[in-house]
C-alpha cells in the first residue's frame, strides 16, 4: 500500500498483440501512440485520451525500492520531490494530464530548491519556506481549535444510533461533509455543496483502487476531472471570504495570513486552493489509520496486547513529564505498526534514461514499514511497546552538537527559522536532518526525529500534518475510552468493500457498542 500508488499493470503488457510491442520497439518515439491504439481496441469502454495518459502512463512507469534509512533524512539532490507523483495520476490534478505548476501546485510535488523563492521584500528566505508556511496551520497551539471539530465529528460517528453497523461506511459518508471542509474552510453540513463531497469521494476511490482499467476507477477519475472547475470556483470564493472575514479555526486562515494573503510566490492563492485539493490524499489516510486501529482493538480478532497497551495508556498515572505522554506514545506505536503511508516517493534523473523506452516515468520508494521495523533502530521491533518512545531523539535535540557527535563535517541542514506572520509567537525551526518543527511561545514542539519512526517520512519532506494526525487519533481514542466503546467483528456474510485510503480497500466488518464495564477497563 502506498500514498501514491503505482499499479501493477503487467497483465496489460501480456494482453498486447506481439506485433504492437515489436512495432513500438522498432520506433520508440511512437511508443505511446502504438500502445494507446492497441489498447483502445482491447478497452473500447475507455476514452482514448484517458487510455493514453492514464493506462499507458501506468504501463511506462517503473519503480525502484530504496534502502532502509539509517538516519532520518533523504538526500536533496538525487532523490527529488519535484513532480514526485506517479504519472498516471496527474490527470486528477491538472486538465493537461501533466504538471502545470503555474496554475497552482502543492508542497508535496515541489523539489527542495524550489521551496524558497526570494522576493524583493524577502531576499533571503529560509530554506523550505513553502513547507514552513504550510506548517503555520498545523502547529501544536492550534490543536485545541481543531480538536473541537474533530471531537464533534467522532461524537456523531459513535452515536448510539450507529452501534453495530459497519463503521467505515458511516465514516466515509460523513467525513467530507462534517470534518474535511470544516477544518479547511469552517463549513459543515448544508454549507458544504454536494459536488465538494462527491469530488473527494471520487478522488479517494481512484487512489484506493488504483487500477486504471477498472470501470469504477475510470468513472471516478473522469468525475474528478468534470467536477474540478466547479470546485475551483467554489474554493476561490471561499478563500476570498476567509481573506476578508478571518476564521482562525481553519487551515486556510493560516496559509492566507502567512503568505501576505496569497501574494507570496511561495504560497499563492492558487497554491492554497491546490493544497485544499491535495489534502484529499493527505487526510484520506485517517480512514486507513482508524480502520486498522479498530482492527487491532476489536475484541473478536484484534490484538490482546494492543488492547492491554491501550488500557495501560489510559490508566497511566505517571506524571507525564516525558516529551510524549502515555496516550501519544500509544498512538505513535500504532502509527509505527500500521504505517498508513507505505513509502516516501521520489523522482530521479541520474542515470539518465538510456536503455529502455518502457521506463519513461521513474520513481524510487523509500519504504516505511521496513524502516519502522528495522532491528538496527529498535530492540524487539515486532513487539507493540509504546514506551520505546520514551527515549527517542526529538527534532529540537538533533542540533549542531549532535551533528558533531555523529561525526559530520558540517550540518546536513543548517538551522533556520520562520516566524509566522499571523500575530502568534510561533517559529518553524528545523533539525540537522531537515525535519521541521514548531516552537510555540519559546517551547519546542516534540517531534520524534528518528529513522526507525517512519510513518510520516523523513527529514525536510516529512509530513507537516503529523501533530494533527496524532490529535485526530487521540480524540477518537479518548471518546472510545470515555464512552466505554468496544469494537466487534460484525456477523456479515458479504461485507461491503470500502476505500479507506490510498491503495487500501477493506471489508467493512467492524462495528461498535457501548458496554459497561468495558473490556478495556478490566
Ligand atoms: C495518517 C495520516 C497521514 C500520514 C500517514 C501521512 C504521511 C506522510 C508522509 C509519509 C509524507 C512524506 C511523503 C514523501 O516524502 O514522499 C507526507 C508528506 C506530506 N503530508 Fe502527510 N500524512 C498524513 C496526513 C497528513 C495531513 C492531515 C496533512 C495536512 C494537514 C498532511 C500533509 C502533508 C504534506 C503537505 C506533505 C508533503 C511534505 C513535504 O514534501 O515537505 N499529511 N505525509
CB of residue 455 inside a 6 A radius of ligand 1: yes
- CA–CA separation, 183 vs 247, rounded Å? 11
Residues 6 or more apart in contact with residue 159 via CB below 8 angstroms: none
Number of helices (H), then strands (E), in the chain: 19, 11
Q: In the Cβ-directed half-sphere of 67, how many Cα atoms lie within 13 Å?
A: 8
Give dist(CA 360, CA 422) in Å, integer: 44
The answer to whether residues 294 and 487 touch, using CB atoms and an 8 Å cutoff, is: yes
Q: Confirm if 459 and 475 have CB atoms less than 8 A apart.
A: no
Question: Where are any strands of DSSP class E within 317-434?
Answer: 343-347, 361-367, 418-419, 426-430
Q: Any idea which residue has 487519533 for its cell?
A: 473
Determine whether 287 is exposed, middle or buried from the number of CB atoms within 10 Å of its CB (0-12, 13-18, 19+).
Answer: buried
Q: What is the mean pLDDT of each run of 10 residues along the chain (522 residues)?
A: 61 82 81 90 94 94 93 94 96 97 96 96 96 98 98 98 98 97 97 97 96 96 98 98 98 98 98 96 96 98 97 85 92 98 91 73 95 97 97 96 95 96 98 98 98 98 98 98 96 97 96 82 59
Cβ(166)–Cβ(509) under 8 Å?
yes
Q: Report the alpha-carbon distance of residue 140 to residue 296 in Å, rounded.
A: 27
Distance 52 CA to ligand 1 centre (A): 29
- Give dist(CA 338, CA 332) in Å, integer: 10
At residue 3, the pLDDT reads: 47
Q: In degrees, to the nearest 5, what angle opens at C-alpha 315 toward C-alphas 313 and 317?
A: 100
Q: How many whole angstroms separate alpha carbon 143 and alpha carbon 139? A: 7
**Which three-class secondary structure state does DSSP give residue 112?**
helix
What single-letter DSSP state applies at residue 480? H
- Cβ of residue 468 lying under 6 Å from some atom of ligand 1: yes
Helix (H, G, I), strand (E, B) or coil at 378: coil
DSSP secondary structure of 384-409: --GGGGGSPPBGGGSSHHHHHHHT-S
Spacing, Cα 456 to ligand 1 middle (Å): 6
d(CA 398, CA 435): 9
E strands, 423-484, are 426-430, 436-440, 443-444
The residue whose CB lies within 8 Å of the most ligand 1 atoms, and thus the one to mutate among 110, 150, 291, 463, is 463
pLDDT at 2: 41
CB of 108 within 6 A of ligand 1: the answer is yes
Residue matched to cell numbers 514552513: 132
- Ligand 1 contact, 340 CB (< 6 A): yes
Residue nearest atom 33 in ligand 1 by C-alpha distance:
463
Spatial separation of the C-alpha atoms in residues 467 and 437, rounded to whole Å: 10
Q: How far is the CA of 376 from the centre of ligand 1 (A)?
A: 25
- Does the C-beta of 366 come closer than 6 Å to ligand 1? no
Ligand 1 near 81 CB (within 6 A): yes
pLDDT at 21: 79
Indicate if ligand 1 lies below 6 Å from the C-beta of 115. Answer: no
User: What's the rounded Cα separation, in Å, for the pair 225 and 96?
Assistant: 10
What is the Å distance from ligand 1's center to 179 Cα? 18
| Ligand 1 probe mutation, 282, 337, 345, most atoms within 8 A of CB | 282
Chain centre distance of CA 487 = 26
Q: Is 125 helix (H, G, I), strand (E, B) or coil?
A: coil
| Dist. CA 111–CA 117, nearest whole Å | 12
pLDDT at 497: 98
3-state DSSP call for residue 158? coil
Alpha carbon of 256 to ligand 1 centroid (Å): 20
* Pairing, β 485-489 against β 426-430: unpaired
Report the alpha-carbon distance of residue 245 to residue 258 in Å, rounded. 15
Q: What is the DSSP code (8-state) at residue 80?
A: B
Q: Is the CB of residue 331 below 6 angstroms from any atom belonging to ligand 1? A: no
Helix or strand or coil: residue 154? Answer: helix
Atom of ligand 1 nearest to the CA of 275: 35
Beta strands at 436-440 and 443-444: parallel, antiparallel or unpaired: antiparallel
Of 481, 511, 471, the C-alpha closest to 140 is 471
Question: Does residue 341 line the site of ligand 1, with CB under 6 A?
Answer: yes
Output the CA torsion 405→410→411→417 (10° steps): 130
Amino acid at each position: 500500500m502506498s500514498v501514491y500508488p503505482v499499479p501493477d499493470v503487467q497483465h496489460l503488457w501480456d494482453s498486447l498483440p506481439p506485433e504492437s510491442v515489436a512495432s513500438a520497439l522498432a520506433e520508440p518515439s511512437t511508443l505511446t501512440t502504438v500502445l494507446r491504439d492497441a489498447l483502445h481496441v482491447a478497452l473500447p469502454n475507455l476514452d482514448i485520451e484517458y487510455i493514453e495518459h492514464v493506462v499507458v502512463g501506468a504501463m511506462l512507469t517503473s519503480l525502484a525500492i530504496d534502502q532502509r534509512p539509517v538516519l532520518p533524512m533523504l538526500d536533496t539532490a538525487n532523490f527529488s520531490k519535484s513532480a514526485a507523483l506517479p504519472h498516471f495520476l496527474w490527470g486528477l490534478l491538472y486538465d493537461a494530464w501533466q504538471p502545470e505548476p503555474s496554475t497552482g501546485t502543492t508542497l508535496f510535488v515541489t523539489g527542495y530548491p524550489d521551496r524558497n523563492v526570494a522576493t524583493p521584500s524577502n531576499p533571503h528566505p529560509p530554506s523550505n519556506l513553502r513547507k514552513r508556511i504550510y506548517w503555520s496551520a498545523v502547529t501544536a497551539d492550534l490543536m485545541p481549535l481543531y480538536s473541537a471539530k474533530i471531537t464533534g465529528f467522532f461524537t456523531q460517528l459513535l452515536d448510539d444510533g450507529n452501534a453495530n453497523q459497519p463503521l467505515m461506511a458511516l465514516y466515509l459518508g460523513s467525513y467530507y461533509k462534517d470534518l474535511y471542509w470544516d477544518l479547511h474552510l469552517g463549513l459543515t453540513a448544508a454549507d458544504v455543496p454536494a459536488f465538494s463531497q462527491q469530488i473527494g469521494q471520487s478522488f479517494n476511490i481512484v487512489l484506493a483502487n488504483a487500477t486504471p482499467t477498472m470501470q469504477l476507477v475510470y468513472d471516478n477519475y473522469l468525475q474528478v476531472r468534470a467536477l474540478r472547475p466547479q470546485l475551483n470556483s467554489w474554493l476561490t470564493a471561499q478563500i476570498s471570504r476567509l481573506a476578508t472575514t478571518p476564521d482562525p479555526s481553519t487551515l486556510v486562515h493560516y496559509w492566507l495570513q502567512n503568505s501576505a494573503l496569497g501574494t507570496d510566490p511561495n504560497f499563492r492563492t492558487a497554491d492554497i486552493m491546490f493544497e485544499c485539493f491535495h489534502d484529499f490524499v493527505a487526510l484520506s489516510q485517517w480512514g486507513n489509520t482508524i480502520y486498522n486501529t479498530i482492527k487491532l482493538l476489536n475484541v473478536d480478532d484484534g490484538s490482546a496486547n494492543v488492547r492491554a497497551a491501550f488500557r495501560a495508556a489510559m490508566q497511566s498515572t505517571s506524571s507525564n513529564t516525558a516529551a510524549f505522554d502515555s496516550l501519544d506514545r500509544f498512538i505513535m506505536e500504532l502509527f509505527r505498526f500500521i504505517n498508513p503511508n507505505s513509502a516516501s516517493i521520489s523522482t530521479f534523473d541520474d542515470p539518465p534514461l538510456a536503455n529502455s523506452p518502457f521506463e519513461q516515468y521513474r520513481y524510487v520508494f523509500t519504504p516505511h514499514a521496513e524502516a519502522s521495523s528495522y532491528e538496527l533502530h529498535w530492540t524487539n521491533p515486532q513487539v507493540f511497546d509504546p514506551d520505546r518512545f520514551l527515549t527517542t531523539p526529538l527534532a529540537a535535540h538533533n542540533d549542531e552538537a549532535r551533528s558533531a557527535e555523529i561525526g559530520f563535517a558540517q550540518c546536513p541542514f543548517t538551522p533556520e527559522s520562520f516566524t509566522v506572520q499571523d500575530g502568534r509567537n510561533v517559529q518553524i525551526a528545523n533539525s540537522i536532518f531537515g525535519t521541521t518543527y514548531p516552537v510555540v511561545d519559546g517551547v519546542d514542539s516534540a517531534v520524534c526525529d528518528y529513522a526507525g519512526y517512519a510513518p510520516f517520512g523523513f527529514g525536510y519532506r516529512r509530513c507537516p500534518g503529523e501533530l494533527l494526525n496524532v490529535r485526530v487519533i487521540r480524540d477518537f481514542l479518548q471518546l472510545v475510552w470515555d464512552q466505554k466503546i468496544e469494537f466487534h467483528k460484525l456477523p456479515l456474510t458479504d461485507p461491503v468493500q470500502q476505500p479507506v485510503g490510498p491503495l487500501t480497500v477493506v471489508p467493512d466488518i467492524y462495528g461498535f457498542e457501548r458496554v459497561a464495564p468495558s473490556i478495556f477497563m478490566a
